[in-house]
Amino acid sequence: MDAAHPAPGAQAPEAAPTCFRHPDRESYVRCTRCDRNACPDCRREAAVGYQCVECVKSGHQGTRQARTAFGGRITARPYATVALIALNVAAYLVELVRPETLDRFGVLGSGVLAPPADYDPATYVPHLSGIAHGEWERLLTGAFLHLGPTTWPMGILHIVFNMYWLWNLGRVVEDRLGVLRFLALYLLSALGSSAMIYWLAPHSLAVGASGAVFGLAGGYWVLSRRQGYDPLGGNQMMITLVLWMVLSAGFASWQGHLGGLLTGLAAGAALGYAPRQQRGLVQAINLTAVLALVAVVAVIATDQLTPIS
Ligand SMILES: [Zn+2]
Ligand SMILES: [Zn+2]
């Protein structure tokens, strides 16, 4: 059969209706005001049926802001996801010009770095660097750096894979959380990932957004369970990521992947399971508790590295 010439009388199947904000999602529920189809992320329960987020927004003009599924402010585009990708790419460009950025800002508990390119062997004294020696910024900066283009075996794929996942997951999670809550989930996951590396592999230098991306996946999984709506296939994604964590353990930081995933699950629960009353306040308290847990891990790691004298 030649697909380009359907048999006479054959009819193209009616395309399934899709969400007006997400053309890739099937949706049969219509907004009672504008009659457009809207997926569960883009509609809110109304007195009668459902309204889409845009009609909710215009209906509440001046009185109350329309909110995302978990309480954030609705934006037209995934601004935070785009900003995070731009930051990662900008940092990569800096690395290409100054490769020593990796050593200085990667996640490293404690270690002796290679001397700078222009060092004087007569006067250079090797010394210990790392988080345990006061360079706390590494817990965050390491998540925005990636392996150089010639590094075996990932090379340029390191940043390409991470940004691909960040783009695909970030848009959906930001849509549910809004900018602030989304950034909190992402940055907490980055910190949780770094803290786990600091604790379990303090003498290795690690970089990459994958810990934070694993956190986004964990957050997505929890929020999808809570919402009863899972357009990206969360279970499948979890299996894929855990498999990757195990298979890549020889050359990537499984500690960082695990730390990011666990933090993302916790932060997702902190945001998703806050009660409707005082939701913003409870979410902030919950997230602070997750941050405190991450800090405890970092303190334990520091204790391990600092000999008692
Ligand atoms: Zn509408
Ligand atoms: Zn939608």
Cα of 216 from ligand 2 centre, angstroms:
19
Cα of 43 from ligand 1 centre, angstroms:
8
pLDDT tens-place string over residues 183-219: 999 999 999 999 999 999 999 999 999 999 999 999 9
Mean residue pLDDT of the chain comes to: 92
Cα of 63 from ligand 1 centre, angstroms:
18
Structure tokens at 251: 């050359």
Cα of 42 from ligand 1 centre, angstroms:
9
Name the closest ligand to CA 30.
1
Beta pairing class for 111-112 and 50-52: unpaired
Cα of 68 from ligand 1 centre, angstroms:
15
Cα of 270 from ligand 2 centre, angstroms:
23
pLDDT tens-place string over residues 93-148: 999 999 999 999 999 999 999 888 788 989 999 999 999 999 999 999 999 999 99
pLDDT band at 1 (very low <50, low <70, confident <90, very high): very low
Structure tokens at 271: 């945001």
pLDDT tens-place string over residues 274-304: 998 999 999 999 999 999 999 999 999 999 9
Q: Does 168 or 64 have the greater pLDDT score? A: 168
Name the closest ligand to CA 42.
2
Query: Is the per-residue pLDDT at 37 higher than 80?
Result: yes
d(CA 105, CA 137): 7
Q: Given this model, what pLDDT does residue 13 score?
A: 64
Name the closest ligand to CA 46.
1
pLDDT band at 47 (very low <50, low <70, confident <90, very high): confident
What average pLDDT does this structure show over 154-166? 95
Query: Does the N-terminal peptide bond of residue 6 adopt cis geometry, omega within 30 degrees of 0?
Result: no
Residue 189 near residue 270 (C-beta atoms within 8 A): no
The residues, any chain, with a CB within 8 Å of residue 107's CB and separated by 6 or more, are: 131, 138, 139, 142, 143, 194, 197, 198, 205, 206, 207, 256
Cα of 297 from ligand 1 centre, angstroms:
46
d(CA 133, CA 109): 8
Helices and strands of the chain, counted as H and E runs: 10, 4
pLDDT tens-place string over residues 111-122: 999 888 788 989
Cα of 17 from ligand 2 centre, angstroms:
12
Cα of 42 from ligand 2 centre, angstroms:
4
**Distances in Å between the alpha carbon of 19 and those of 29, 169, 261?**
9, 18, 30
